Amino acid sequence: MNIAVIGASCTPYGEWWDKSLRDLLAQAQLAALDDAGLAAKDIQEIFVANMCAGQLSGQVNLGAMAADILGIHIPSTRIEGACASGALAIRAGIAALESGRAEVVMVSGVEKMTDVDHALATESLMSATDYETEGFVGATFPGLFALVTRAYMHQFGITREQLALVSVKNHKHGALNPRAHFRKEISVTDVLKSSMVADPLTLLDCSPVSDGAACIILSTPAFAKEIGKHGVNIIASTQASDTLALSHRKEFTQFYATQQAAQQAFMIASIKPSDVDLVEVHDAFSMAEIIALEDLGFFERGTAAFATAEGKTVLNGQLTVNSSGGLKAKGHPVGASGIGQIVELVQQLRGQCGVRQVNNAKIGLAHSMGGLGATVAVHILAKEA
């Protein structure tokens, strides 16, 4: 497959008390149009990703909002897939292009999460799990991932200090990213001494609740060349699913949906994991990054934490992981996160990332996960030769 990314934009992530859901979405959409050199009238279809606006902002029907912002009357649809909503919206945009229904589509994602009590935000996020068997009885996302973390630590013998290095590395990258929610480096001691959330996970093992929006504009290769905006293409887009409830899994320390989506993506792109220069993985919790790197095929099972401790995943290491700062430091405005990952890859492949630029970046991979691996999407992007 070959889908051109001709525009990309991401708002800064953070706590935006003075901006509404509409404000953030408009900011990202207009900036993406500007980046692509297009006018609103050039867009033929819109997909907008969001998970929590109905519960947290009292606003649904975001497809209509996205078109209303631009003053156009084209098809515009909201896509929801928990924390993978943005990645699923990208897949919907790709389908519109590949079907011949459109030549140019806009894919946006937005979330406004900090205007409500933290307990309400936590409850809203738990709707990505099996509410009847998990949320209803009091489980939380950190609590469920703490179970996964304990199982992994027991099975593979990693230390709490090695796990903390995931957050340390991502904050180091985030400190270089002007759009990151947290632009401050932290230490292993900071992670270990931060407030306990769900043993063994502390506050600095967990991604923040963030506001933000991201937007990309996709087109056929022919249209991109016609307007002189070719350069970065999506060469694989895959999706897989697993059981909604963690308790229904055969084991906790690997996510089969990630493995399946990754294997299909590498096959479609006709490349190997060793061909990838940088990855943006779904690190909602520090352990999530470790498991993702193994499930994606970059490291053998049980070794990714040791590789992290050895510095193999830092900027311009063996494999640059989460150059943006990841969900942990860049932030996690759920509906925008998967699209924001693509924005980072596009800008890296264009060579636009300044002090956090990955040297000679040619191929990037984005991994987005909804729930505890219940919904997973993988995208591979390549710089045109």
- Tell me the residue ranges of DSSP E strands in 112-211: 196-198, 201-202
Residues with a catalytic annotation lie at 83, 332
Tell me the longest C-alpha to C-alpha distance in the chain.
56
Helix (H), strand (E) at residue 86: helix 85-98
Nearest to 202 by CA among 164, 169, 240: 164
- Chain centroid to Cα 44, Å, comes to 25
**Vertex 124: Cα angle to 120 and 129 (nearest 5):** 140
Distance from C-alpha of 213 to C-alpha of 10, rounded to nearest angstrom:
6
Using CA atoms, how far apart are residues 110 and 310, in angstroms rounded to an integer? 36
**Residue 16: C-alpha distances to residues 20, 117, 174 (Å):** 8, 15, 18
Neighbour-count burial of 114, counting CB atoms closer than 10 A to its CB (0-12 exposed, 13-18 middle, 19+ buried)? middle
Cβ-based neighbours of 67, under 8 Å, separated by 6 or more: 46, 73, 74, 76
Structure tokens at 152: 């992994």
Report the amino acid identity of residue 142. Answer: P
Count of residues for the chain?
Answer: 385
Residue 141: closest CA among 151, 158, 127: 127
Token code pair at residue 138: 């009091």
**Neighbouring C-beta atoms of residue 222, cutoff 10 Å:** 10
